[in-house]
Amino acid sequence: MAARQCCSHMSKVTFISAGKDEVSVVGIAGASIMQLATANGVPGIDAECGGSMSCATCHVYIEGAWLEAVGEPGEGEKVMLAFAEKPAHNSRLSCQILYTEVLNGITVHIPESQ
């Protein structure tokens, strides 16, 4: 199924840019947050490496309430995040977060540098 702009009763993921532009997309189980962004043309998620955890251009900040549901980054992800601009405690690589219903409603913030 192709991802598309969503309405309120669907599972969704919201991206907020540094300029506070907000876009919500349909969450599809098994797709990464990065894939949901790129499939919907969300600006600021370039995902240059295509999700192989070697570019950090899919860096996002997870909104506080969602940190626990998302969980800790893996070791390789931590290493890569060190190359991201302005990494923070809630930094994650969006290509490493697989969407499931547990994340329905999640909000992530796109770094200013992207």
For residue 66, the Cα-to-chain-centroid distance in whole angstroms is: 12
Both tokens of 35, joined, read 């894939």
Q: Does 93 bind ligand FES (CB under 6 A)?
A: yes
Nearest to ligand FES of 8, 52 (CB atom):
52
* Number of Cα atoms under 13 Å in the Cβ half of residue 39: 18
Q: Does 55 bind ligand FES (CB under 6 A)?
A: yes
Question: Which of 18, 55, 8 shows the shortest CA–CA distance to 34?
Answer: 55
Nearest to ligand FES of 95, 110 (CB atom):
95
Nearest to ligand FES of 57, 107 (CB atom):
57
Residues that bind ligand FES (CB under 6 A): 34, 47-49, 51, 53-58, 80, 93, 95
